[in-house]
Each structure stands twice: as structure tokens, then as C-alpha cells.
Structure 1
Amino acid sequence: MAINLDCGLINNFRNKVNEKKFFQEMFRNVNGKNHWNVICSSMDWISVVADGLPVIDLKKPKGVGYDHLETLSLMQYIITVDILAEAIIQLFRVIDRGKPYPLSKSNEIFKQSKLSDDAYFKHLRAVFSTHPVNLNSVDGVKKEDGEKFFASWVARNMLGNDFYVVLYSNDPEKDKVNPLGINIKDINLYAEKRYNLLETLIEKVEQLNTEHINSKKVSIITSVTEPIKQLKILLEENEKRFGKNYGYANGLHYLYSLLMVDTSPIVNDFNKTIINEYRDFLITLIPEIKDGLQDMTIKKSNWKTPFQFGYEFEKIYMYFENEVHPVGKYYYNELVERGSLPSVAATCEDIGLKQLVLDAYLYKESTRLGRAVSFKEL
């Protein structure tokens, strides 16, 4: 009766959907619906099922009679399989864009012709687990005359089944009892077939990723000479290609923010030269990012090169990010007080200008040394 669910399969699927960040972005807003949340929820519950279903205490029943604890284990088992099936169906619904999932009409497991395996399993779930005292049919096909049925408690071994119940009608004229059995091997096969569809889903994710990459590669990015206009174009393209917060988003926002800084408070020619040289360097990075976006590849850009290292700089950049960080502000002002940075860096209110000044001086010094700079060295 042991079920065979390879936990590695759901792990492989999880890795595949997280492999490309733009895959997540493709599903965050589909006609006003967040399908990425559907995928995450389904993955989580499939992991729960793959880990937990094999250890539910449900053994091959011996003898006849009733065992209420065994019945509760059977209920738990069936509900867990139902969660698995529903999660797989949901994944196909959102990833395969509404197409019927491959087993939607299959009826090869439960050996009955009226219903699909999915519909008949729902009937078994109702009888043996969720609605035994409020049933609409004996065989899963709802009665048109409003006849209702009620299940007995679950018993072992009868009519060649692992478990069975007797269904009673609410019609006073019908005294016939209706036995209904269930075999765990059939439930296991039902679950395994649906779980193994993750292999098909992995292929579909890979196909979607490939199609997205190829379509963006042939979509030519507009080129303009003005750096700020080009950065705006690249930000829009990055969102289309990789997502708002992925790809080159951080680098583009960094370049845009520092190139937009008002440097008029810098009046000293020596300081101006250092800052202008750094901004010229930043402008040279724009074509690199554009090429990466066009090719749909994440290239290691020079803007990511660490010009500094150490605890003090870590706190300073937290100050830049949050604009309120006493320790970071203290270390920044210390650089000004000891002459490493011009005095205007301390007196100006513009956080962007403060960062531009520091980054420009760090760039100058790290270029001279050929390595990252420590706080004491600047």
C-alpha cells in the first residue's frame, strides 16, 4: 500500500520556477489576477503532501469490523490526496493558460464509466471523508429527484475492497442498502499519476522561459544619445524583460539617481573634476546594460564593483538608504572632518549629493590603488 512520491520532483519544479526571476513577474498580474501566488501556494501544499502522505498511519486492514482511529487516518489520507490533485490542477490552470490539464477526462483508475477519475474521487472523498452524512448519490451522479444518502461508519474488507461503507437513502420506500468500497492502491495510483505531472509542468515552465527570452531578443531597444532619456527607456525595458525589481533594476536606478543629482553646490574646481570624472564613468556603463537587456543576459557590470569595504561604509550606505541612521551619519561626517571629503558634503541636505561625492572619491582612490578602499585609507 506504500505510495511512491519522489520529493525530489517538487523540489525540481520549485527550482525551475525560481530559476528565472522574470517567470515570477510574468504571473504577478494576469488580467488583474496574481497567478504567482497560486503557484506558490500550490508548491507549498504539494511539498506538504509529498513529505507527509507516505507517513500517514494507514496500513493494509486485517480482518473485518470497525476501527474508528483507522477511519480518521483514512479521512486524513483522502483529504491529503485531494489537496495534491487540486494543487496540480491549479498549476496547470495558471501555467498552461486555462487549457484542460492532461488527466481532466481520464477514467482509467476507478473502473467506472459514468465519471472521470477526478469526479469519482471527489465522490469518494465526500463519502469516506468530508460529507458522509450529506450525500447526493451512490455512484457520484446526483439524483434529479432530490434523493439524499447517508453513509455508515467505515468498515474493513468486504466485496474485495480495503474499506467500505453502506449508503442509506432518505426515501422511506427504498430499504435497499448500497455498499460502496474503496481500495488504497487505487487512491495511491490516482495521486501518483497527478504528482508525476510535475515533470510536464517543468517542461512547460522551461518552454515559457525560452519563448520569453527569444521574443525579447528580437525586440530592439531604442537608442538615444541623452543619458537620462536612455536610462528611462532602459528602466521600462528592464521591467518588461526581467521585472520591476530584477535584472538591471538596481544598477539603472543607481545610475539614474546619481546622474540626476544637482551638483551646483560643488564650486571647487578640484572637487568638480572628481565628480564629473565619476559621472562620465557612470555614463559609459549605460551601453553595457543596454546590451545585456538586448541579449537577455545578466552581465557583471562595473557599477557592481566594490570600491570600498568595511563596517563603517556598511553603516554609511545604510544612512544613504534610510536617510536616518545616526551611526552611518557619524562615520560620513568623520570623513568630512578629516578632509577625505569636501566640506559641502556635510552641509548639504541632499542625500543623493552626499552619496555622489563619496562614490566619486571612492572611485578615484580605488582606481589609483587598483583595489577596494577601507575607511581608514580614504
Structure 2
Amino acid sequence: MDYMVGQLEALLSIPSPSGFCRDALRVLNAELGQLGFTAESLAKGGLIITVPGADPAKTVGVSAHVDTLGAMVRSIKSSGTLRMTSVGGYMMGSIENEYCTIHTRSGKTYSGTILTTKPSVHVYPEARELKREEAVMEVRIDEDVASKEDVEQLGIGVGDFVSFDPRTKVLPNGWIKSRHLDNKAGVAVILGLLEWLNRTKTVPAYTLKLIITAYEEVGHGAAYIPSDISELLAIDMGAIGDDLQCTEKDVSICAKDSSGPYDYDMVSCLIELAKRESLSYAVDIYPQYGSDASAALRGGNNIRAALIGPGVHASHAMERTHRDALHQTAALLAAYVTAV
């Protein structure tokens, strides 16, 4: 657990909006080497780690995405602020007043704050009622800028990425709150599995291919997977809210999301494994949700697919989970790869 939480903290500190994951992938690659594993880099961004299994006749895939929500510079305003365009799907109200970083193509970074165009109730009588949508959001840059030309002199341009301050807090009582637990918590679980396999010299039941994707938040993270994979288990966050059973201390087993039902036999197997291991789990349906497994199915891959993950409250906003959820998810994943 301490290893997984430490890796989660490290990953959360690295900006990685979809399409801008180079630093996170580089750090992950280095950590994999420390654990004794070699990763193959994908042309589109992402990593594949192959672990030999007891029976090489079958290959099982497990995926998690390291990319997060974020934004890009859409245009530079005459006032010296930045109009932004979202990367990934989130409520504009969830990023209002958030600190951010602008990443230029030259490698320079600048601090900023995301605000509405009418940010003060002392000035704008309609500030409270203003509909929070992309057209009224802007980035205030923490530099001496008052015009478009001032901003351009800094080297900031259209298409530069904007990352959000994660504000990570790991509390002594087990709670973990941060932006981007979706899905760096899932990546930490995969690292936890690899650490356990290495430390205990456990051999998976079948050849195991672990895939770290970099475009899940925009819909095509695992659209490509190696052709020898016959079933794919996505590790992603479990949603929490009305009509759902999952809590922040459970592992979620998703029976159906926006892409339709997941494979009946895989889901049934995961439920039985959770029962066998006496895990705290929930089976839920997520109509507004998609995953790497969804992308793989839509990409035309002839696979069975399923989805599990730690319960995360307030997804795509100020998220929170608990150490227990990481533990439950890692335990179910370990049971799956050794008993498939």
C-alpha cells in the first residue's frame, strides 16, 4: 500500500493532459526499469509491459490511462488573457478559480488562474448567475501582460497546453483527495501489481500485457491493442453517486457503461473472485462513462472486455478516494491475473 500511494503522489505531481503525457510516461518507464520490467513505447503515446505467464497460449491485457483532463490555449485576447478549449469532458464550474500552468512549445511554463470573464461580484452584478461555459472562461497569466502582443512575447501561443493544479492531499486517516485520481489511481494499482509480482516472484496464469494509455480522456486510449490479446481488463475509477452502490473504500466492478454491457463471463468471474477474496466490492452501471475497454471494443478488436477500479467521489472535479479502495482493487487485479 505504501508503495502504491507513494507512486500515486508522484504521478499526480506530473502534468499530463491527454496528448501531453511525455513526462509522466518517462517517469513511469524509469520506475518500471527499477522494478525489473521493460516497456515498449507506442507511437501514439503509451507503454506496453509484457510479463510471461505460466501458459503462453493465451494473452490477457490490463490497461490504465495516465492522461488527465486539461485544456489548451484557443486564442490570445486583446486584454492579455487566454481563451481556452477543454481537453476531456468536465464541468466548467469545476475548474473556476483553479490555479493552472501554461506549457509553451519551447518548454517554458507560466503560472495562471482560470476565471470567468466576470470574476468579481463587486464589479459584475450578473457574476453569480453567469452560465459557466467555455466561451466565458479565461486564463489570467501571472506576468506583466496587458495585450495580445505582451503574451506573444512570452512565447505563449495557440495550442499550448494548460494543466490544472492537482492540489493533492494524502491524509493520515487514509483519505486521498486530488484532481486526476481518474486515472492515476489506476496506474498506481498497476505499478502495485508489478511490484508484487517482482517481489514475490509470482507468475501470472497467462502471458500478461499491461498497457498504459495516453488518450483515454478524449476517447481513443486503447483503440489499438496488440492482436494477441484475447481479453482486456481496464482499471479505471469507480463512480459514486445516486443509484450507485460503490463507495470510496470499494473496488467497483462495472457491468455496463455507455458502450454497453461488458463481457458476461468476465464480469461474473470478477464477482466470484471478489467474493472468494472477501473483498469490499460493488457492481454498478455507469451510463455516462466510457473506458479504455470501451475504446478497444469500438476500435474493432475481437476481445472480451471488463472494467474495475477504485471508488472515486466527485469524478472530473475535486476527486477523493481512500487507501482501502486502492487495496481492494489491487487485490482483485492480483486474483484475476493469477487465476484467469
Q: Which category of TM-score, normalised to the shorter sequence, fits these structures?
A: under 0.3
Task: Name the TM-score, length of structure 2 as normaliser.
Answer: 0.22
Higher fraction of helix = 1
Task: Name the TM-score, length of structure 1 as normaliser.
Answer: 0.21
Higher fraction of strand = 2
Larger RCO (CA under 8 A, 6+ residues apart) = 2
